Chain A
Amino acid sequence: MKMPLSGLTICLVFALLVACAPAATLTVAKGAGTGKESLSLADLQSSGEWGQLFALTLKGDLERSGWFVVGTGKYETLRVSGAAQGGPGGLRTQIEVVWPGGRFAWAEVSRDPREVRWQAHRLNDEIIRRVLGKTGMAATRLAMIGKHDGSDIYLCDSDGTGLVRLTQDRVTCLSPYWHPTGSHLFYTTFLRGFPCIYRVPTAGGSRTPLAQFTGLNTGGAVSPDQKLMALILSLPGNPELYILNLETRRLTRLTQTPRAAEASPCWSPDGQSIAYVSDASGSPQIYVMDAQTKRPRRLTMQGRENVAPTWGPDGRIAFSTRQNGYQIAVIDPATGAGTVLTSGPDHEDPSWAPDGRHIICSRSEGRGRSTLLVLDTEDRTQVPLFTRDGHWVSPEWSTRLAK
């Protein structure tokens, strides 16, 4: 995608500068009482448009991570210092990150604005890894369905920038899933009149049909080891959960529920289990199935409807529960302890970020429209992914990506 550093970008940078100004007041608190580490970017000298873009992107990522309060004083716990120099040849960084427990150096060259932003994303995630021993979520992308003239799949970066339209079909499509490497999306499309599962490269390119049996083909969750795909087929006479081995193309049926419909499979982080929806009990509820023993266990016991599970990297499952409309809840499958995170208008379609802390979901705006929201499960803050007009559904967060 062409991305010149246009007047729009400069305006955006300026707008961000203005928008970020109130953060300086947080310095006074030095993170006190917030449970966050205080961090200073005061000694990071950024020059040129790209240097500014780098510094702003990094600051946004650090704040969005939820772990830091970014200040400008000299008394912060963490200090990011050095230079981010933009020039005709690109952006050259020479940075040192110092904290009471250690320090590390960072130096890279970026040659276009997208590389500049991704260098900032990767440095953010490296700070989180080195300082906190945790996984960041900045070097990731999100897939979503935009329902404008028909439905199509869109992609954007973790900070809501870089939105691109991946498909140009204008036909109904649903339920995008990331391949664990980020190389492809697997999704359900009515391209051929019936719902079938296709795979499309995230860099763009030709699609491949993966399941186009008679009747319903949907799901398409690829296992962490990349070998299996969990899917829903109505081949035997009603919707059932299956696994397709992507190497041997062997199909294995997991559920035997002739009087119930299954939906929405997703894998556990260890690839041993699948969470999915079944209405075998009379209402849609979330079940967990061991992929080896094929023994299902009902996970959600309360509420008349629990749907759209997503299994987070720390083992918790988020889902949409029908309770004063639809709201996002999180449950620990080991203990069954659950928490509802949202209230108000309908919140649906959760997907965990790879940091295990944030969740992306859709929020109804009324008039048949919805927007995308990033939930912080610890601070309980909610931030829009972007402020674009339109009808956005089914967001899906990627794993961490190389670039």
Chain B
Amino acid sequence: MRTVVLVTTALLLGTLLGTGCRSRTTPRDGLSGDGGDTVIPELYGEDGIPLDGQPFDLTRQRLEGTAFEPVYFGYDSFQLAPEEVAKIERIADYLNRNSRTVLIIEGHCDERGSNEYNLSLGEQRALSVRSYLVGLGIAAERVQSRSFGEERPAVQGTGEAAWRLNRRGEFALYE
């Protein structure tokens, strides 16, 4: 089931529109209406690391049995604590040794606060891990973010013991 979903996503993300675009790289078709024309959005002056490039090929299988420890975060924070960085370096080593493997970083939050803000915060967490990986030399197009906000806690319950384990970035590898 997950594979089907990811294949669909890959196809959607992978639809390339090449004409009329002044952007450095090729934007993807993120817009679809009721069968009408699609105008290519203008995305100039981007900062940060570009998410585009070659479409993320997710037709491959999710790799099981390569569990990497989640990266944990402080409350309302997407800063990488020094003690968490080693976990990202281990992933980078793995990706360097396995050049056909691609990665989804799943960003999560604890249950407190608005679902909508937590969805954005989870994305920011995943993207800060991604940014660190890119800084270590991993190609940006091999790493995709996905936020679940507070929707998928690792641990049920309230209190800092549970919340601490829910503010996390998880790694899902595909080959």
B147: nearest residue on chain A (CB-CB)? A216
Contact A192 B123 (CB under 8 A): no
Asked if A75 is an interface residue, CB under 8 A from chain B, the answer is no
Q: How far is the CA of A194 from the CA of B151 in the complex (A)?
A: 13
Task: Enumerate B1-31 residues with CB–CB distance to A below 8 Å.
Answer: 2, 5-6, 8-9, 12-13, 28, 30-31
- CB neighbours (8 Å) of B13 from chain A are 212, 214
For the complex formed, measure the closest distance between the CB of B20 and the CB atoms of chain A, giving whole angstroms: 12
Q: Quick check: which of A95-103, A235-243, A332-340 contacts chain B, the rest being far away?
A: A235-243
- In the complex where A214-B13, A308-B117, A322-B113 touch, is A239 in contact with B32 (Cβ < 8 A)? no
The listed residue (A192, A234, A239) touching B5 by CB distance below 8 A is: A192
Q: Quick check: which of B35-43, B63-71, B92-100, B163-171 contacts chain A, the rest being far away?
A: B35-43
* Residue among B51, B116, B131, B144 with max Cβ neighbours from chain A (10 Å): B116
B124: nearest residue on chain A (CB-CB)? A261
Contact A193 B5 (CB under 8 A): yes
Chain B interface category by residue count = 35 or more
- In the complex where A213-B28, A235-B30, A238-B48 touch, is A174 in contact with B119 (Cβ < 8 A)? yes
- CB neighbours (8 Å) of A403 from chain B are none
Contact B47 A256 (CB under 8 A): yes
- In the complex where A212-B12, A239-B124, A262-B120 touch, is A175 in contact with B32 (Cβ < 8 A)? no
User: In the complex, how many residue pairs between chain A and chain B have their CB atoms under 8 Å apart?
Assistant: 171
Contact A264 B116 (CB under 8 A): yes
- CB neighbours (8 Å) of A348 from chain B are 114
Contact A209 B32 (CB under 8 A): yes
Asked if B49 is an interface residue, CB under 8 A from chain A, the answer is yes
- In the complex where A214-B52, A239-B120, A283-B76 touch, is A326 in contact with B113 (Cβ < 8 A)? yes
Majority SS of interface residues in chain B? loop
Contact B113 A211 (CB under 8 A): no
Q: How far is the CA of A294 from the CA of B30 in the complex (A)?
A: 23
Asked if A156 is an interface residue, CB under 8 A from chain B, the answer is no
Contact B127 A248 (CB under 8 A): no
Contact A307 B117 (CB under 8 A): yes
Q: How far is the CA of A217 from the CA of B116 in the complex (A)?
A: 11
- CB neighbours (8 Å) of A236 from chain B are 43, 46-48, 50-51
A145: nearest residue on chain B (CB-CB)? B115
Asked if B174 is an interface residue, CB under 8 A from chain A, the answer is no
Q: How far is the CA of A401 from the CA of B1 in the complex (A)?
A: 40
A210: nearest residue on chain B (CB-CB)? B31
Task: Enumerate B127-145 residues with CB–CB distance to A below 8 Å.
Answer: 127, 131, 144-145
For the complex formed, measure the closest distance between the CB of A273 and the CB atoms of chain B, giving whole angstroms: 19
Contact A193 B6 (CB under 8 A): yes
Task: Enumerate A195-228 residues with CB–CB distance to B below 8 Å.
Answer: 195, 208-219
A219: nearest residue on chain B (CB-CB)? B116
- CB neighbours (8 Å) of B43 from chain A are 235-236, 251, 253
Contact B119 A277 (CB under 8 A): no
Contact with B along A150-163 (1 / 0, CB 8 A): 01000000000000
- CB neighbours (8 Å) of A305 from chain B are 76, 113
B152: nearest residue on chain A (CB-CB)? A172
For the complex formed, measure the closest distance between the CB of A368 and the CB atoms of chain B, giving whole angstroms: 8
Q: How far is the CA of A348 from the CA of B147 in the complex (A)?
A: 21
For the complex formed, measure the closest distance between the CB of A351 and the CB atoms of chain B, giving whole angstroms: 12
Contact B41 A237 (CB under 8 A): no
For the complex formed, measure the closest distance between the CB of B117 and the CB atoms of chain A, giving whole angstroms: 4
The listed residue (B12, B31, B46) touching A249 by CB distance below 8 A is: B31
- CB neighbours (8 Å) of A194 from chain B are 9, 146
Contact B147 A195 (CB under 8 A): yes
* Residue among B2, B5, B38 with max Cβ neighbours from chain A (10 Å): B5
Contact B6 A249 (CB under 8 A): no
Contact A211 B123 (CB under 8 A): no
Asked if A250 is an interface residue, CB under 8 A from chain B, the answer is yes
Contact B119 A234 (CB under 8 A): no
Contact A234 B145 (CB under 8 A): yes
Contact B9 A249 (CB under 8 A): no
For the complex formed, measure the closest distance between the CB of B25 and the CB atoms of chain A, giving whole angstroms: 12
A175: nearest residue on chain B (CB-CB)? B116
For the complex formed, measure the closest distance between the CB of B163 and the CB atoms of chain A, giving whole angstroms: 13
For the complex formed, measure the closest distance between the CB of A325 and the CB atoms of chain B, giving whole angstroms: 9
- In the complex where A194-B146, A261-B121 touch, is A277 in contact with B116 (Cβ < 8 A)? yes
Q: How far is the CA of A326 from the CA of B113 in the complex (A)?
A: 7
- In the complex where A193-B2, A251-B43, A308-B116 touch, is A279 in contact with B121 (Cβ < 8 A)? yes
For the complex formed, measure the closest distance between the CB of A390 and the CB atoms of chain B, giving whole angstroms: 16
Q: How far is the CA of A218 from the CA of B24 in the complex (A)?
A: 25
Contact with B along A228-272 (1 / 0, CB 8 A): 000011111111000010001111010010101111100000000
A233: nearest residue on chain B (CB-CB)? B30
Contact A195 B46 (CB under 8 A): no
A-B residue pairs, 3 tightest by C-beta? A237-B48, A213-B30, A251-B41
- Chain A to chain B contacts (Cβ below 8 Å), 16 pairs: A192-B5, A210-B32, A214-B144, A218-B120, A249-B37, A250-B42, A260-B124, A261-B120, A261-B124, A262-B120, A263-B119, A277-B114, A279-B117, A284-B117, A308-B114, A349-B115
